Amino acid sequence: MALETPYRAIFCDLISDQTIDILPLRDVSFDDYIGKAGSLSGTIPIPNKEIADRVKKVREGRTAVYLERGGDLWWGGIIWTTTLQSSGRGVLTLGIQAATFDSYATRRRIRTDISFTTPTDQLEIARALWKELDLQADPSSPPKEGEQPRRLGISYGQETSDVQRTASWRKGDETVYQEALDQLAALENGFEHQILVYRDPVSGKRIRQLRLGWPKIVNGATDLLFDRPGTILSYSFPYDATRGGTTALARGATTNANAAAESRPIVSTQQIASDLLADGWPLIDLSSDHNEVTDTLTLDSLAKRSLDESRGTVVIPAISIHLDGVVPPALLGRVARIRITDEWYSQGLDARYRIIGVKVTPPERGRPDTAELYLEEA
């Protein structure tokens, strides 16, 4: 990262969050999304032995990295991969690949029985899953008296929904926590989830917080305004009928009481977008697999949600903008008002979209500080 960059890379111990060092980071790009982990890549230059000794403290799987801009945290996550590299001229660098704290749920498996037999708010179930995976207690060596179990230190809100569900996961199935969360969120009338990083406005402490939203995560009281001509550098509206459909089916676990018979998966009732068919659409089939689901009503709900989200043509608009002091760090979930006037939108487009993904390219070697925003209709 060039010296003129507004970003600062802070490397910390993953568990204690104690700062290890602040190091230069070049060739950086980072992104973040609602509902899935974002990523960061960059390169730490190693010009001498002093810097090398400092960089050696950056350990994959044990180190967190934050990007700070103007005193605000724009990104935070876990370094999962490092690559030490020497060029033909003997120039040393350490490449890093990191993912947001959400990615920790992809590295943990459910190894205890978790059961909600009484209908429970689906957001409370999601919180319980994160609290369980965040315990980090070593089962072979419980913490000593007065000693706290190691954990990521995720904080939690008190969000609620109008949806009550039952759910259970069994020890021995080795279900990945992320898969359990995604399955729960993907049900009809489900929710969204994200790990948000920010500084406490009073103490200045770095916070990692599970944010839940039902039915959507919405952030901010007022719309952000982006114009073209103006702040918008470029835009794209990719309409993709290969990702959409007019029918949907969900397949579940394979159950077979008769070992001599052919094993077949449980399937949902076919969901049909009758209004699209009446409007002239052909039959276009969507299918999804949920190998641990044994309940047909749950499969029906998953199929319905799949069709609701991919009806007909799928479009994920994107705009590229200049980052400046007007653009806040917590963009995910914000509503953006997009106004475009050009040859295609000769009468002018004026529409509201929710920001569901952000990809930032920091300034370097004369390149401006830009962000690509991925949108959905608000």
Residue 3 pLDDT grade (very low, low, confident, very high; cuts 50, 70, 90)? very low
Is residue 2 over pLDDT 50?
Answer: no
Is there a contact between 197 and 206 (Cβ–Cβ < 8 Å)? yes
C-alpha to C-alpha distance for 72 and 336, rounded to whole angstroms: 21
Task: Output the average pLDDT for the chain.
Answer: 91
Range scoring the smallest mean pLDDT among 4-8, 186-190, 248-252 = 4-8
Indicate if the alpha-carbon torsion angle 48, 51, 54, 56 is positive or negative: negative
Residue 150 pLDDT grade (very low, low, confident, very high; cuts 50, 70, 90)? low
Is there a contact between 58 and 94 (Cβ–Cβ < 8 Å)? yes
Residue 36 pLDDT grade (very low, low, confident, very high; cuts 50, 70, 90)? very high
Which is more confident, 205 or 141? 205
Buried b (16+ CB within 10 A) or exposed e, 102-115: bbbbbebbbbeebe
The packing angle between helices 122-133 and 177-185, to 10°, is 170
Degrees (nearest 5) of the Cα angle 325, 202, 206? 75
Displacement of CA 21 from its chain's centroid (Å): 26
Which is more confident, 119 or 148? 119
Residue 5 pLDDT grade (very low, low, confident, very high; cuts 50, 70, 90)? low
Is residue 257 over pLDDT 90?
Answer: no
* CATH T-level fold of 7-102: Phage tail proteins - horseshoe like beta roll fold (2.30.300)
Range scoring the smallest mean pLDDT among 57-66, 75-84, 286-295 = 286-295
Q: How much of the chain, in percent, has pLDDT values that exceed 90?
A: 81
Which is more confident, 198 or 323? 198
Nearest to 181 by CA among 199, 197, 195: 195
C-alpha to C-alpha distance for 249 and 293, rounded to whole angstroms: 13
Is there a contact between 25 and 1 (Cβ–Cβ < 8 Å)? yes
pLDDT at 230: 92
Is residue 181 over pLDDT 60?
Answer: yes
C-alpha to C-alpha distance for 343 and 357, rounded to whole angstroms: 27
What mean pLDDT do residues 147-158 have?
81
Q: Indicate the SS3 state at residue 8.
A: strand
pLDDT at 256: 67
Is residue 77 over pLDDT 70?
Answer: yes
pTM: 0.89
What mean pLDDT do residues 61-68 have?
97
**Backbone angles phi and psi of 38, in degrees to 5:** -90, 175
Could you read off the pLDDT of 160-172 as tens digits, one per residue? Answer: 999 999 999 999 9
Is residue 1 over pLDDT 70?
Answer: no
* CATH T-level fold of 224-238+316-377: Phage tail proteins - horseshoe like beta roll fold (2.30.300)
What mean pLDDT do residues 243-268 have?
84
What mean pLDDT do residues 233-243 have?
95
Q: How much of the chain, in percent, has pLDDT values that exceed 70?
A: 93
Could you read off the pLDDT of 315-337 as tens digits, one per residue? Answer: 999 999 988 766 888 899 999 99
Is residue 352 over pLDDT 50?
Answer: yes
Residue 291 pLDDT grade (very low, low, confident, very high; cuts 50, 70, 90)? confident
pLDDT at 115: 96
